[in-house]
A and B are shown apart, each in its own frame.
Chain A
């Protein structure tokens, strides 16, 4: 198969690609949310710490005083092992803390509101929370700013941990999604495969339309396939009709020629002319026989498609067929000897007659003059056997199966006119009835025995 590759694989890859994208997205989202949550937690604790410190601010003798509460730092130590820095300024004057600590530079400080910012201090990234409170020191209120800062190792650790967890989950999700994609692709392609199997299961001449439920997407394909098969069937039918018609049209004038030739033969005395006429009659006979066989073949091909299953007594069939061929045999002084016992089979009388006639015809044709052709009908186990044996040259060397091929003739048939269709027709008929053709010799080097084997009804 060449072309665009497997739909299933493409579907799997496509779905897996979507899953990979979603996995990465979900990992990114969880990591982002984890960072957000950890940062907010830290912000809240920093804000609480700054607020706790700011609440101790008071004024004593015109001076701003404060006392760092133990809990303000204890709460910072409780959530992570992060370094803590702080700075308290009253107006422009530093009260206590780390004098070089950066403070949030986010607009003018508004009393009572905590502002946050991120910065760098002593070689580490820090998060700052700043709170401004007005304290009445002396005559006028002084803005006192409390800044509490903490490094972000705790946030990084929590985020890293959750990110890793999210990554593990994303990978697991992706693997499950790939497995499901594979399964989904297979499931959705199953109807297609089923149709393909149904088509390939069919016999070579089965052109009936496919009658099965198909998904909406496959219905046009199925309809197109059925239309194609219908057209193909019509086309084959037409060509077979044409061949049959042609054979038929050739046969009728040939019969006329033969009758005229026979009348001429009777009225002519000259031996040389009589010989020529006899040759002519024989050639006409052969052509007529060939046309008949082509017709038979067309009939077989047509009738086996829709085989009739009538009950037929092979003994009766053999008698009628033999009777029909009596004149031909008589021309060569060949005796047709019948030995029958009743044997009922289910099948198409026309086809079976045609098959037997072909075999008998062959036997008569290849037998020397003044010999006997035996036709026996017998039963053996569950099978009916119709055997035709002659005293002719036999079937020649080479594989017996080759003789049933279309237009193939035995290796010892030179000098005898024939189409090569005879045994092909017989074989086709027997196969259609579930039987088989057996080819053998009566005696070594002498005569042929052709047996038509059919299952008993």
Chain B
């Protein structure tokens, strides 16, 4: 099981968890000491390398607060909040899971001058707030694609994969939607929006696709040349930078026929005790999200969605429709179909 090995590889540092939610699988954790006694506990799916600049900026603003930042998978986050784990802020890119938690009443209201300036599509019920828009992209290895035109649409991609099965066999990577909440969200939204998705899945399934839990490992494998192509990777500045650092070995492509854009969202869980501090961090994240120019932040701002960059698709809407694919019956049906397409061995 490649994805399991990949998951293990990602876990750099694991502390023993002694919090209220026993058995929480923490992938990474960092403590930012504060001058005061108050501790703001943050549960997030974002890697520290991506999120550290935000936390550092907030820590400069509020040096009195100690920050306790734990990185977990989106499914773990969902489970922990549902079980009432004592965190003051939940941040995740899995919009559907985040939305369901808020819908089911696990979030508190928060209002501030900053949340008022947020566009309507970037918040829901004064409870959940989006601060980035991040597109799903295709990452290709230029070496493995040598001599082939880079695909611009799914149809291009289907043609390329179908025409060169020997070149791409075992070298196509994508999310394992059974373990990755974000992968599941991408797959379901795409299946809903374009009928090319299932044809592409069929083609990929014949090429012995490699399945991953997370974007980082996929990008690494493309950079090292183990993968020719990673499909539906969460594109962000980190990926862009990686592509630049690779010296032209990695290219980021955005499909022109359709492209998912997700919102990374934050909310204050019902069990939060440091509401004021959590609200202040939300404000900091929103101010960063509302910035005009991309700047030096590792995550793209909200504004890029409305600019119409790429193919000009708006972000996935924050609304009850997100819960449709979380329904156990729907999920079972979708996974059955996905497995049929992907695992043709």
Contact of B104 with A122 in the complex, beta carbons under 8 Å: yes
List 6 contacting pairs A-B, 8 Å CB cutoff, sorted by A. A66-B329, A73-B322, A73-B324, A77-B321, A83-B102, A83-B103
Most buried by B among A67, A71, A95, A124: A67
Contact of A72 with B125 in the complex, beta carbons under 8 Å: no
Q: In the complex the two chains form, what is the Cα distance from A72 to B103 in whole Å?
A: 16
Q: From B323, which residue of chain A is reached at the shortest CB distance?
A: A73
Contact of B103 with A96 in the complex, beta carbons under 8 Å: no
Residues of A with C-beta under 8 A to B330:
67-68
Instruction: Say whether A153 faces chain B, with CB atoms less than 8 Å apart.
Output: yes
Instruction: Say whether B29 faces chain A, with CB atoms less than 8 Å apart.
Output: no
In addition to A74-B321, A122-B105, 7 A-B residue pairs with Cβ atoms within 8 Å of each other are A66-B329, A67-B329, A70-B192, A73-B321, A83-B104, A96-B329, A122-B104
Contact of B105 with A123 in the complex, beta carbons under 8 Å: yes
Contact of B329 with A95 in the complex, beta carbons under 8 Å: yes
Interface size class of B (residues with CB under 8 A): 10 to 19
Main secondary structure of the interface of A (DSSP, over half): mixed
Instruction: Say whether B9 faces chain A, with CB atoms less than 8 Å apart.
Output: no
Residues of A with C-beta under 8 A to B104:
83, 98, 122
Q: How far is the CB of B100 from chain A (nearest CB, A)?
A: 10
Contact of B328 with A96 in the complex, beta carbons under 8 Å: yes
Residues of B with C-beta under 8 A to A98:
104
Instruction: Say whether A69 faces chain B, with CB atoms less than 8 Å apart.
Output: yes
> Given A68-B329, A74-B319, A77-B317, are A83 and B105 neighbors across the interface (CB < 8 Å)?
yes
> Given A81-B124, A83-B105, A122-B105, are A70 and B324 neighbors across the interface (CB < 8 Å)?
yes
Instruction: Say whether A76 faces chain B, with CB atoms less than 8 Å apart.
Output: yes
Chain A residues with a Cβ closer than 8 Å to the other chain, count: 25
Contact of B320 with A73 in the complex, beta carbons under 8 Å: yes
Most buried by B among A66, A68, A69, A95: A68
Q: From B126, which residue of chain A is reached at the shortest CB distance?
A: A81
Contact with B along A280-319 (1 / 0, CB 8 A): 0000000000000000000000000000000000000000
Instruction: Say whether A84 faces chain B, with CB atoms less than 8 Å apart.
Output: yes
Contact among A69, A122, A123, A153 for B125, CB-based, below 8 A: A153
Q: In the complex the two chains form, what is the Cα distance from A83 to B101 in whole Å?
A: 11
Contact among A69, A84, A122, A124 for B323, CB-based, below 8 A: A84
Which chain B residues (30-87) contact chain A, with CB distance < 8 Å?
none
Contact of B328 with A124 in the complex, beta carbons under 8 Å: no
Most buried by A among B102, B320, B333: B320
Q: From A76, which residue of chain B is reached at the shortest CB distance?
A: B320
Contact with A along B307-345 (1 / 0, CB 8 A): 000000000010111111001111001000000000000
Q: From B104, which residue of chain A is reached at the shortest CB distance?
A: A122
Contact of B105 with A124 in the complex, beta carbons under 8 Å: yes
Residues of B with C-beta under 8 A to A68:
324, 327, 329-330
Residues of A with C-beta under 8 A to B102:
83
Residues of B with C-beta under 8 A to A122:
104-105
Q: In the complex the two chains form, what is the Cα distance from A124 to B125 in whole Å?
A: 14
Contact with B along A58-90 (1 / 0, CB 8 A): 000000011111111110111001011100000
Residues of B with C-beta under 8 A to A81:
124-125
Contact of A96 with B317 in the complex, beta carbons under 8 Å: no
Q: How far is the CB of A82 from chain B (nearest CB, A)?
A: 8
Contact of A77 with B328 in the complex, beta carbons under 8 Å: no
